[in-house]
Amino acid sequence: MSAADDLLFLRSVARSAPGSRRPVLATIVSTKGSTPRKAGSKMLVAPDGRLTGTVGGGCGEGEVLEVAARVAQGAPACIVRVDLTEDLLTWSPAVCGGIMEILVEPVEEEE
């Protein structure tokens, strides 16, 4: 699917979404080091909270979901910096140790 097709799909989701919450798109725009997903990976957060896609899971995705909830209510788009390097000090062997920058933006209906 092309980027234009992706955008058409997301706009159709936005048009069909009831209520005051907007669908939100999270896109990894840059990565450094070892990360669970690479630049271009996307996650759509529907108004009802359903997720399509992923930006890596775990605590980093949790940070993005917190920001997405605010954007869904009308906050401006922003970049979330997910730093996984501090996780190297934790007990989990599943950590990556890189840094991701993720654009979190509302999916606006085409006018």
Secondary structure of the chain in HEC code, one letter for each residue: CCHHHHHHHHHHHHHHCCCCCCCEEEEEEEEECCCCCCCCCEEEECCCCCEEECCCCHHHHHHHHHHHHHHHCCCCCEEEEEECCHHHHCCCCCCCCCEEEEEEEECCCCC
The one-letter amino acid code at 69 reads: A
User: What are the tens digits of pLDDT across the range 27-64?
Assistant: 999 999 989 999 999 999 988 888 999 999 888 899 99
User: Which residue has better confidence, 21 or 29?
Assistant: 29
Report pLDDT digits (tens) over 88-108.
555 555 567 789 999 999 987
Report the half-sphere exposure of 6 (CA within 13 A, side-chain side): 12
Residue 72, pLDDT score: 93
Would the pTM of this model clear 0.85, i.e. be above it? no
**Structure tokens given for 54:** 């992923």
pLDDT value at 78 more than 60: yes
